[in-house]
Structure 1
Amino acid sequence: MTTEVRGPSEHRRRWAITGASQGFGRALTEEVLARGHDAVVVVRDPESLQELKAEFGERLAVLTADLRDETAVAEVGEALTDLDVNVLINNAGRAIVGAVEEIGLGELREQLELNFFAAAALTRAVLPLMRAKGSGAIVQMSSQGGRVSFPAAGAYSASKFALEGWSEALAAEVGPLGIGVMLVEPSRFRTGFNTAHSLGMTSETDAYAAIVGPARADLAEVDGRQEGDPVRAAAIIVDLVEPSLATDGGLPLRLPLGAEAVRRLRAAYSGNAAEVERLAAVAESADFPGMRPSQRAV
């Protein structure tokens, strides 16, 4: 395999990318290397990157870890600090599909461990380094399911909603320090996310078969037919991050990707705004009478 090198980049940086063996992670790794940057990637199977490693040599550092393991996450965090990364892309993740009642607390914790806590731990690990330099970028691969949930996606959306809320606060805290934070909210992309290897399915119960069944079938059968192109998505993400590093800012907080994400998020935001207006008078009546509008620092 030969990858076209569109560089070297005027501002060569070191990008850390988790979940780089396939999908968004693989596409982002190839895009970053093609632009002349260095990459540090985290995968469970290092053999999945043999071709890239042979082509790019020392410009590609491969760390092997299962980010569901707290000890492994801590070790990766130490390695990223030692490697002086400029950009962190928290991409590793998977979905456990099933009705809320069908998913046990152990499975729910596993979902949060990988999709939220691992990302939070690695972000915290690189922040002191980025603060010292006064620059850096953190990209959190969320989902349209991080803003809108639906039957069968309760556990997955819980992990992504957590990532979104945590990262929104983070962006406000580190933006003044020169560090950008961007949440990426893709719709359906051909990433391997929907393969049997990646997608966890709970045992189906009769009570929820008619409600959750269609979503189960859609998620399991859509692989290879998704509308989104991860290569195009990777180019868009890198296009946004590169200039933000040069100017110490300018990243959008949220980046929806794919026409379906735009359509669904527009509908969700419009619906939420309409519901607030419909209930505004009732909501405001809960305050003590005669109170002045609140004055807060945030």
Structure 2
Amino acid sequence: MSKVAEKKVLLVTGASRGMGVDIAKAALAAGYAVVATGRDPQKVGKAVGAAEDLLTVRLDVTDPASAQAAVQAAVDRFGRIDVLVNNAGNFIAGFFEEITAQDFRAQVETNLFGPLNVTRAVLPVMRAQRSGLVVSISSVAGFLGAEFTSAYAAAKFGLEGWMESLAPEVAPYGIKTMIVEPGFFRTDLLTPESTSYAEASIDDYAERTKQTVTAWSGMSGLQGGDPAKLAAALVQLTGSVEPPARWVAGADAVGALEMKAKLLLEQAGAHRELSSALAHDA
């Protein structure tokens, strides 16, 4: 336990499959003690594998009490939490009119309020330490809206706004934040376990829905990005003296962000004279 006590502690959500597993393994390989969480700790343990410095804990990110209990278990075992990686999430896809209000709320509940719940439980620990790093896995959809992704983008845009606002609030206590914006990586996101499609109900959208679902289903497992490399790079950044406030992961994501930045500048200048003539007259 003395060796474990000397190690930094990383807590990752959604570690029963997908990128969460890769992050947990990369952190262990880098010398972290790891708290790997998921709704079924047995699945987490099976996916990550046995390790002396690994604690698997049940955590439903949509349940604040579950988040508090998981954080307490981490502190009871390791005494501290140095890095939180908000990774758990899912994907509800479809045209806005066809996504039910219940499903839209459920998307935001998991992908936005989930990280809020876990971070709210972790921050008192980090403030007491006067150190820590909060990482949230966003997406290209966190800065670039696209058809068929309205619910997912709404949650990820919200996640990024919250993280940017959180950063200056916690900085005085030695706590840093990092937004991660992956492009297309070969994760489980487009598999049936992670993606739900809105039920087709409007004729106007029927053909586009069919084409999109077919294209995305065919893309699953063929994405260009390697999640193991992403995880290793992410863990490397968590150990840096000044982690980036935003890390754009993947060449496709870099290209998308550059395109969005150019578009924003064009929009800012499109009606500059009109926009600048709205002050009260002296």
Compute the TM-score of the two structures, normalised by the length of structure 1. 0.86
1:14 equivalenced with 2:6 (yes/no)? no
Q: Which moved more, 1:172-181 or 1:99-108?
A: 172-181
1:65 equivalenced with 2:65 (yes/no)? no
Among residues 270, 280, 298, which one is paired with 2:262 in the alignment?
270
Distance in 2, Cα, partners of 1:266 & 1:234: 23
**Deviation, structure 1 residue 32:** 0.7
Structure 1 contact 151–211 (Cα < 8 Å) conserved: no
Structure 1 contact 196–220 (Cα < 8 Å) conserved: no
1:202 equivalenced with 2:198 (yes/no)? yes
Distance in 1, Cα, partners of 2:281 & 2:74: 54
C-alpha distance 215-285 of structure 1, shift in aligned 2 (>3 A): farther
1:171 equivalenced with 2:163 (yes/no)? no
**Deviation, structure 1 residue 176:** 3.1
1:5 maps to: none
1:106 maps to: 102
Q: How does 1:178-257 map to 2 (within 5 A)?
A: 178-204=174-200, 205-244=202-241, 250-257=242-249
2:51 maps to: 56
**Deviation, structure 1 residue 66:** 2.8
Compute the TM-score of the two structures, normalised by the length of structure 2. 0.91
Distance in 2, Cα, partners of 1:138 & 1:273: 30
1:261 equivalenced with 2:253 (yes/no)? yes
Distance in 2, Cα, partners of 1:176 & 1:226: 40
Distance in 2, Cα, partners of 1:26 & 1:271: 36
Distance in 2, Cα, partners of 1:151 & 1:217: 15
Q: Which moved more, 1:99-108 or 1:79-88?
A: 79-88
Among residues 15, 20, 34, which one is paired with 1:39 in the alignment?
34
**Deviation, structure 1 residue 211:** 4.3
Among residues 273, 278, 282, which one is paired with 1:286 in the alignment?
278
Offset from partner CA, 1:28-59 (integer Å, 9 cap, x none): 100111122110011123333445676313x1
C-alpha distance 88-173 of structure 1, shift in aligned 2 (>3 A): same
For the residue of structure 1 that corresponds to 2:156, the secondary structure is: helix
Number of aligned positions between the proteins: 276
Distance in 1, Cα, partners of 2:49 & 2:232: 23
Offset from partner CA, 1:180-200 (integer Å, 9 cap, x none): 100000011111111011101
Among residues 109, 131, 134, which one is paired with 2:130 in the alignment?
134
Distance in 1, Cα, partners of 2:193 & 2:175: 35
% identical equivalent positions: 34
RMSD value over aligned CA atoms? Answer: 2.0
Structure 1 contact 81–126 (Cα < 8 Å) conserved: no
Structure 1 contact 185–254 (Cα < 8 Å) conserved: yes
Among residues 20, 23, 28, which one is paired with 1:28 in the alignment?
23
Unaligned runs of 5+ in 2: none
Structure 1 contact 151–215 (Cα < 8 Å) conserved: no
**Deviation, structure 1 residue 70:** 4.4
Distance in 2, Cα, partners of 1:182 & 1:147: 15
Offset from partner CA, 1:88-118 (integer Å, 9 cap, x none): 0000001100111111121111111111111
For the residue of structure 2 that corresponds to 1:131, the secondary structure is: helix
Structure 2 contact 62–117 (Cα < 8 Å) conserved: no
For the residue of structure 1 that corresponds to 2:34, the secondary structure is: strand
Opposite residue 84 of structure 2, the aligned amino acid is: L
Structure 2 contact 140–253 (Cα < 8 Å) conserved: yes
Structure 1 contact 151–212 (Cα < 8 Å) conserved: no
C-alpha distance 203-240 of structure 1, shift in aligned 2 (>3 A): same
Distance in 2, Cα, partners of 1:260 & 1:74: 37
Distance in 1, Cα, partners of 2:41 & 2:129: 31
Structure 2 contact 141–152 (Cα < 8 Å) conserved: yes
Structure 1 contact 81–125 (Cα < 8 Å) conserved: no
Unaligned runs of 5+ in 1: 1-7, 245-249, 291-298
Opposite residue 72 of structure 1, the aligned amino acid is: S
Distance in 2, Cα, partners of 1:273 & 1:190: 32
**Deviation, structure 1 residue 289:** 2.6
